Structure 1
Amino acid sequence: MPSTPHDLVTVIVPTYNGSQHLAATLESLGAQDYTELEVIIVDDGSTDDSLDIARRSGVARTVLAQENFGVAVARNRGLAHARGRWVAFLDQDDLWRHDRVRNLVDYAHTAGVAAVASTETPFAVTSDRPALEAVGDGRERWPELWINPGQESTLIHGAPYPSVAERTEVITVQRLMMGAAMLTTSVLYEREIAIAAGGCTPHARALDDHILNLNVARMAGGIHRIDTRDLLYRVHPASATTTSPMAGPLLSAMASIRLGGVFPTHPQIGPNVEHLLLGLSETELSPAEQMALLVLTVPRGSRTTWLARWGKRMLRRIVPGRRT
């Protein structure tokens, strides 16, 4: 069915103890200049007042509550209740500029595609700078915009930001096999293709949306991405990151994808996967588990090099102060 600029769009917002930022996130949806919009909020067992904020917001058509089954289950439950021709996910701490839905639907209508993403603009609150620096992974350098507390509205209602480059690209399966290539909240999907692709994957921590994008890209011939920078990605001390606790879940999921018989079996690895591999020795995984993940992740031609790197890091852990 051809897309039209007046198709209903469903936005699914999973929440879990997100009361600190949820009101601003929902404000960004209420500010959209695209009128054919329904919002579904799925609370994943919050113990704070996230559910009350969602119900009082007046933005959501539907507010659902469930036990703490995880964000993937919450996203899938929202998908099951969606009525829109198009669906998208928005995390509880991110924002959408007021023109974002219209930008995506207009492009999908013009290009005739089943999935379209946009680029993002990272931002942070000035009062969070010391805490960001204390995390120790360099995230204090991620934000492009800094705002004072409570000034999210200036971003939501602001004018478009200059693009890094005027371009449209297609994110292919091959690119996604190298590692995550886009944020969860960056993609607008045709609802039918999101469902046919299996939705989000509940067993794959932090990769549930990546596996959805892989399957959508395989079915749609890639995911188009436009450089509108209208996704406002909040960088804060509790942001998800690719540090050691995530290495096991992420690398094992990537290995299962590569060995599953559906996707390319010998992909290259991208920077985020390399970052995880470099941090393997700092995880709580056993040496045997670390070596297995490394061998299953790295292309054959690079395994000797990576095993040597890993071995040197393990020696430094075993013999503190040792120089290798």
Structure 2
Amino acid sequence: MTNQPNIASISVIIPVKNRAGLLEITLDNIFAQTLLPAQVIVVDDGSTDHLPQVIAKYEGRVTCIPNEGKGPGAARNTGLKIADTAFVKFFDSDDVMTKNCLQAQYEVLQKTGAPLVYSPYIHAIEQPDGSWLRQGAIVQYQPFPATQTLRACMAYNFFTVIPGFMFRREFLEKLGAWRTDITAYEDWDYLWRIGKLCPNPVHTNQAAMIYRLHGAQTTGAHFDNTQRDKEKVICLKDALAAAQDLSPLDKLALTNILWKTLKSLAHLPEYQAVLAQYDSPAMPFISLYLRLKNKLERLKTHSDWTTMHGVSNSEEVWGQYAKLL
């Protein structure tokens, strides 16, 4: 480790598969941070593109290793095995963050002693001139309500992206490894497990990350809606089996998400019996109530998000973030 003041005990772990061109922009963004990480670990999940040429440009600054399994969950586990820092940020090969992000999150963790911190994220498209075109609201500009737990919010379709977090290493050791049997909803499962150990994570909006919109959003593969729904069922069933910390109403809301997902798979014979386990005459009415509630919430936020997502539509706020990209 170096003692230079602009380098901190942070590892940034990035899974990648056939995204060499996108990864270069992500790495440039990381090395432009006001506080540099001690380690940048790229885990190659079987790329066949020009990844070696891109990595060569960062010789001595990036460690590139092959994935010990398959998929983004296994890649993050592989990267974590060689990370030897006190703090860890899981990042994606196609995203960027404001140039103060590592510093802002690191300082919050140092000041509060919290196990993790999360920040806003913004869907955006990169323009030919290198600028970013925002798509929709700034999500999680404010934290989710302090009166609710992370898991209780997730029961009503709350989600915030894992690359928006920074973790203490010892917290990740308690949390356990990423799931490797799924590749589209492994982040939802990870967030659910985070909610068990840390029901109310610390938040800062002094920095943000850009969730880059492009044609291949899933690491290493394209997934159709059926495959996504199948993985969603796996995660939701596991979550409900371990939902003792939810109130009866919250558990019912989570069950409704599973019921709706199973309805979308009801054309497959193997899911018809599973649907019957969660079906009831009341479920359509519960689903209607929750849909209407969400619609009213979205009207309040003037966005596609409900109030618990803490959105901001401010052009001024976006402009401040954009200056730091």
Aligned to 1:149, the other structure's residue is in SS state: coil
2:209 maps to 1:208? no
Measured in 1, the distance between the counterparts of 2:284 and 2:57 equals: 57
Cα gap change, 1:191 to 1:55, in 2 (>3 Å): farther
Q: Which runs of 5+ in 2 are unaligned?
A: 289-325
**What is the root-mean-square deviation of aligned Cα atoms in Å?**
3.5
Query: Quick one: which of 290, 303, 312 aligns to 2:283?
Result: 303
Q: How many residue pairs align between the two structures?
A: 270
Is 1:30 the counterpart of 2:16 in the alignment? no
SS at match of 1:8: strand
Q: Distance in 1 between matches of 2:99 and 2:287?
A: 48
Deviation at 1:49, TM superposition (A): 1.6
Q: Which runs of 5+ in 1 are unaligned?
A: 125-146, 156-161, 309-324
Deviations 1:281-304 (A, max 9, x none): 5558614505625854x8x78525
2:192–2:239 contact (8 Å) kept in structure 1: no
CA distance in 1: counterparts of 2:210 and 2:117, whole angstroms: 17
Match of 1:235 in 2: 213
Question: Which of 193, 203, 220 is equivalent to 2:171?
Answer: 193
Determine helix, strand or coil for the equivalent of 1:121.
strand
Aligned residue identity for 1:121: I
Aligned to 2:229: 247
After TM superposition, give the deviation of residue 209 of structure 1 in Å: 2.6
The one-character-per-residue Cα deviations of 1:178-232 (angstroms, maximum 9, x if unpaired) are: 4451112111111111121112111233232332332233223432232345201
1:292 match: 274
Closer/same/farther in 2, CA of residues 263 and 58 from structure 1, 3 Å limit: farther
Structure 1 counterpart of 2:30, one-letter code: L
Q: Which residue number in structure 1 is paired with residue 128 of structure 2?
A: 149
Q: Is the 8 A contact 1:30 1:59 kept in 2?
A: no
SS at match of 1:69: coil
The aligned counterpart of 1:181 is 159
1:83 aligned counterpart, secondary structure: coil
- Identity percentage over the alignment? 19
Corresponding residue number in structure 2 for 1:21: 22
Q: What's the counterpart of residue 106 of structure 1?
A: 107
Structure 2 residue matching 1:11: 3-state secondary structure: strand
Q: Give the secondary-structure state (helix, strand or coil) at the position aligned to 2:84.
A: coil
Q: CA deviation at 1:148?
A: 2.1
In structure 1, what is the equivalent of residue 63 of structure 2? 62
Partner of 1:39: 40
1:258 aligns with 2:240: yes
Maintained 8 Å contact 1:205/1:250: no
Quick one: distance in 2 between partners of 1:27 and 1:82? 20
| Whole-angstrom CA distance in 2 between matches of 1:196 and 1:185 | 19
Q: Compare 59-68 and 5-14 and name the one that shifted more.
A: 59-68
- 1:106 to partner: Cα distance: 1.5
Deviations 1:12-59 (A, max 9, x none): 000011123111011110111103431111001111122431243347
Paired residue secondary structure (2:283): helix
> TM-score scaled by structure 2?
0.70
CA distance in 2, matches of 1:83, 1:196: 16
* 1:57 counterpart letter in structure 2: Y
| CA–CA distance in structure 1, aligned partners of residues 276 and 10 of structure 2 | 41
Letter in 2 for 1:252: I
Change (3 A) 1:293 1:84: farther
Structure 1 residue identity aligned to 2:201: I
Tell me how far 1:97 sits from its aligned partner.
1.5
